[in-house]
Amino acid sequence: MRVAGAVVVIAVLSGGSGADLARRFAAAGAAGMLIADQHPGVAEDLAAELDRPGCPVVGVCSDVHQPSDVAALVDTAGKHIGPIDLFCVAGPDGERIVSLDELPDHLDPLAELLALVGDAISEVVPQQRQPSPSPASSPSAARTALR
């Protein structure tokens, strides 16, 4: 996984922290980061701490359990720091990093990203702590809704 020169999105789940992950990406030469946390002010404060020339950092309040919030993160990253290379989910029990160059070219990139984010969330949050999935918020429903 190439970090130097990469644009990175870090989505922090409830009970998780993206601070160490963001600092590691900054030290490894990321070209820009978008940090999203469910708690207002947390991502914005971390972004202000890490923002520097050559690695702009944007912080937003967002919930990646919501497909519309993932779509907004993709849009915000594109507008402020460039196309996303790595999408990370940081939860209370770990982290998962998804490289967007792994996405098949023939699929809708946002639909596939939504599926990968759903998979990432399930990996870093123990089953008993995951929110109850509603049929409309499942990755397959998100794929269908976006087609």
CATH number for position 77: 3.40.50
Q: Does residue 2 lie in a domain region?
A: no
Counted domains in the chain: 1
As averages over each run of 10 residues, the pLDDT of the chain (147 residues) reads: 89 89 94 94 95 95 89 91 90 85 65 78 64 51 37
**What global pTM score does this model have?**
0.77
What pLDDT is attached to residue 1? 66
CB atoms within 10 A of CB 129: 12
Listed residue (38, 50, 58, 44) closest to 125, CA to CA: 38
Distance CA 23, CA 44 (A): 14
What pLDDT is attached to residue 59? 96
Beta strands (DSSP E) in the chain are 7-12, 32-37, 57-61, 86-91, 94-99
Q: Does residue 80 lie in a domain region?
A: yes
Range of the domain at 129: 7-146
What pLDDT is attached to residue 96? 87
Q: Does residue 1 lie in a domain region?
A: no
What pLDDT is attached to residue 30? 96
Q: Does residue 49 lie in a domain region?
A: yes
